[in-house]
Amino acid sequence: MKDNLKIILRGVGQVMLQNNALTGLLFLIGIFYNSWLLGLGALLGNIVGTVAARLLKYSAEDIKNGLYGFNGTLVGIAVWYFFGFNLATTLAIIVGAVLSTIIMRLMLKKIPAFTAPFVISTWVVILAIKLLNLTPALASALPPANSLNLFSTVSLGFGQVMFQANIITGLIFLVAILINSRLAAAYALYGSLLGGLLALLFSWPLDMINFGLFGYNAVLCAIALGDKKRNAFFSATIAVGLSVILNFGLGKIGIITLTAPFVLATWIMLIITKLSFKKKVV
């Protein structure tokens, strides 16, 4: 029972690339603080994704490290965030979480999957819900903004990684990362701040900036690429910039961005780094 609980909590922690059960617990606390429903959605998606991996006999070590739980966690939050709670959306979470586990397994040995399985499976589930007209999407509007609120921008940049528009939740998320890695926390803070400031520089909507919508993909980029190596800061900075541009551009053409900007920007930087290394070797 204790080991299973740790697996679930590590799965939540892995949403922000933190293989730490205590970090995952704090993430859950932050979600429940803002929304008990989304907290339950996170748990449902996580458990379904993890159980699916066990039934499919995937790597026990990967399961232990929460690698088949974090995409399901995000699926569970996203579906109830966009469509609310009912039987259809509950079934959608189950299907989406299982699909995310299968996609994760297919990608795991080939490329760094990050949250790509979540993005793909959630896009599929959302499309199915809309095509089958199962349930209407929840209406939402951003709070109006006349000036930059930097504190809100940075804090919600953390919270929005898991669809949490709550400043306290964002701060809890930051502390959770700090408990596992001071370096990751520093990079995450830098990513959230830089993402918001770049959007401001581009004169993009203040309500979106203050709501953390240009920060959450930037947070993930900075954590994924940030380390103590000499070129890591440069790579993370470029990826943050790319994620901001992709977030705005994909949104403009009507795509629900989720964490796709993070995945694409990070993949691009990893490819550039790999090609650059090969060139130096030659």
238-266 pLDDT, tens digit each: 999 999 999 999 999 999 999 999 999 99
* Domain assignment present for 137: no
**CATH code where residue 175 lies:** 1.10.3430.10
- In this predicted structure, what is the pLDDT of residue 279? 59
* Domain assignment present for 144: no
Q: Examine the pLDDT at 131 and tell me if it is beyond 60.
A: yes
* Domain assignment present for 197: yes
Shared-domain flag, residues 97 and 173:
no
* Domain assignment present for 40: yes
The domain boundary residue, chosen from 69, 102, 131: 131
Structurally, the chain folds into a number of domains equal to 2
pLDDT in tens, 185-209: 999 999 999 999 999 999 999 999 9
Q: Examine the pLDDT at 276 and tell me if it is beyond 80.
A: no
- In this predicted structure, what is the pLDDT of residue 278? 63
Per-residue pLDDT, averaged over 157-169, amounts to 98
* Domain assignment present for 141: no
Shared-domain flag, residues 111 and 233:
no
Shared-domain flag, residues 90 and 212:
no
Shared-domain flag, residues 118 and 157:
no
* Domain assignment present for 103: yes
The domain boundary residue, chosen from 101, 131, 161: 131
**What's the pLDDT band for 277 if we cut at 50, 70, 90?**
low
CA triple 34-35-36, angle to 5 deg? 130
C-alpha distances out from residue 86 to 92, 133, 136, 256, Å: 10, 14, 11, 21
Shared-domain flag, residues 169 and 52:
no
- Mean pLDDT lowest for which of 52-61, 185-194, 266-275? 266-275
Shared-domain flag, residues 196 and 277:
yes
Q: Examine the pLDDT at 281 and tell me if it is beyond 60.
A: no
Q: Examine the pLDDT at 72 and tell me if it is beyond 80.
A: yes
pLDDT in tens, 133-148: 999 999 788 988 889 9
- Mean pLDDT lowest for which of 18-27, 85-94, 223-232? 223-232
Shared-domain flag, residues 113 and 159:
no
* Domain assignment present for 143: no
Shared-domain flag, residues 71 and 174:
no
Task: Write out the DSSP string of 125-194.
Answer: HHHHHHHTT-SPPPP--PPP-SS--HHHHHHHHHHGGGT---HHHHHHHHHHHHHH-HHHHHHHHHHHHH
* Domain assignment present for 180: yes
The domain boundary residue, chosen from 69, 101, 131: 131
Model pTM above 0.75? yes
- In this predicted structure, what is the pLDDT of residue 274? 83
- In this predicted structure, what is the pLDDT of residue 1? 79
Shared-domain flag, residues 120 and 171:
no
Shared-domain flag, residues 190 and 96:
no
CB-based burial label for 95 (10 Å; 0-12, 13-18, 19+): middle
Task: Specify the 3-state DSSP secondary structure of 12.
Answer: helix
Residue 180: name the closest of 223, 244, 135, 143 by CA. Answer: 223
Domain that holds residue 244: 150-281
Contacts of 159 (CB under 8 A, 6+ apart): 30, 34, 165, 166, 167, 169, 170, 173, 212, 216
Query: Rounded distance, CA 246 to CA 240, Å?
Result: 10
Shared-domain flag, residues 85 and 178:
no
Query: Rounded distance, CA 122 to CA 144, Å?
Result: 28
pLDDT in tens, 111-122: 999 999 999 999
- In this predicted structure, what is the pLDDT of residue 245? 98
Shared-domain flag, residues 113 and 174:
no
Yes or no: say if 50 and 57 are a contact pair by the CB < 8 Å rule.
no
Percent pLDDT > 90 in the chain is 90
